[in-house]
Amino acid sequence: MTELVETQSITRGWRNSRLPSYLAGDVSAAFLSATLISPILTAIDRAVVENVSSTTRPLSTALKENLLCTIRYPKSFFAAKPFIYMWMLYAATYTTANSMNTLTSISMNKSPEFLANSLIFIATCTVNVPLGVCKDICFVQTFGGRPPGPANTPQTKPPLPPRSPTKFPKAVAATFLARDAITILGSFTLPPMLTHRIPIADPAAQMAVAQLLMPVLSQLAATPVHLLGLDLFSIPGKRERGKRAKRIQRGLAGTTAVRCVRIVPAFGVGGIVNTGLRGWFRGVVEDGGMRAERL
């Protein structure tokens, strides 16, 4: 018994000494994952915002044009505030989730799993939700309510510059807060809790399926809230309630499909890449520590 306690103490001390290296790997994995997924997410979110503000241009057309902007005008696209806000959002979200996973695994390894997952959820929401709202404010102020150019006219100029900021209603911010909480719950908290229910023998495959499936399903609840927030910003006023419901219903199917597709790179593919990179960096740290001990 004494030997077991001593072994656990040595292991805990070794892990604590490697904590800065673990956290450096967490941050690196988060930054690389955010860089991978941010371009397509920026194009998709801009298309959705422009589609809500326009009744003349199909969502598919807006999406195609915005995806082409990443290739035709890379300097304007990647230097613009919308892309920077998007990258910061996902870099910070993944960094928080990774770091909290590392910290709870070391300091709360004997605590109930639910408690650790709850702390990870709260911390990730605390970072993701305000940044997500800031990102949405940037997008609706930049692209919301702007009349699109003719559909049959080829684009010859970079994306239009941002408009001057307008007042952002509290009701809109509240809807975005609720939407992001639903998304974080489905993307970070539920997958680890539900992996054992997936009928696959390989634990890694179970986790990958959960990371792809749960974020997508969360958008069935998050999309109506998202559309409500965009509509409240584009067309404010209590008299619009009846028309607002019809507008949301009209765009619900298409936007839900787009957001389900969008969430796959955001927290599905992005989550798998982030988990893989985090595991790889952790393996490098542990291998280096073992080699140092042998010397």
Can you say how many angstroms the Cα of residue 166 is from the centroid of all Cα atoms in its chain? 25
Given this model, what pLDDT does residue 161 score? 47
CA distance 26 to 58: 40
Given this model, what pLDDT does residue 166 score? 55
The pair of structure tokens assigned to 176 is 């975005």
Amino acid occupying residue 61: T
CB atoms within 10 A of CB 254: 15
Asked whether the predicted pLDDT for residue 139 surpasses 70, the reply is: yes
Given this model, what pLDDT does residue 246 score? 86
Most confident of 107-116, 186-195, 229-238: 186-195
Residues with Cβ within 8 Å of 175's Cβ and at least 6 positions away in sequence, in order, are 225, 226, 228, 229, 232
Q: Are 259 and 222 in contact (CB under 8 A)?
A: yes
Q: Are 215 and 187 in contact (CB under 8 A)?
A: yes
- Band (277; pLDDT cuts 50, 70, 90): very high
CA distance 279 to 199: 24
| Residue scoring higher pLDDT (226 or 148) | 226
What is the DSSP annotation of 116-179? HHHHHHHHHHHHHHHHHHHHHHHHHHHHTTPPPPPTTSPP-SPPPPPPPP----HHHHHHHHHH
Q: How many Å is the Cα radius of gyration of the chain?
A: 22
CA distance 40 to 42: 5
% of the chain with per-residue pLDDT over 70: 82
Q: Using alpha carbons, list the distances in angstroms from residue 269 to 26, 94, 117, 211, 230.
A: 17, 13, 21, 8, 26
pLDDT in tens, 18-44: 899 999 999 999 999 999 999 999 998
- Band (4; pLDDT cuts 50, 70, 90): very low
Given this model, what pLDDT does residue 89 score? 95
Q: Specify burial of residue 94 (Cβ count, 10 A radius: 0-12, 13-18, 19+).
A: buried
Mean pLDDT of the 225-248 span: 82
pLDDT in tens, 79-132: 998 999 999 999 999 999 999 999 998 887 777 777 888 888 899 989 988 898
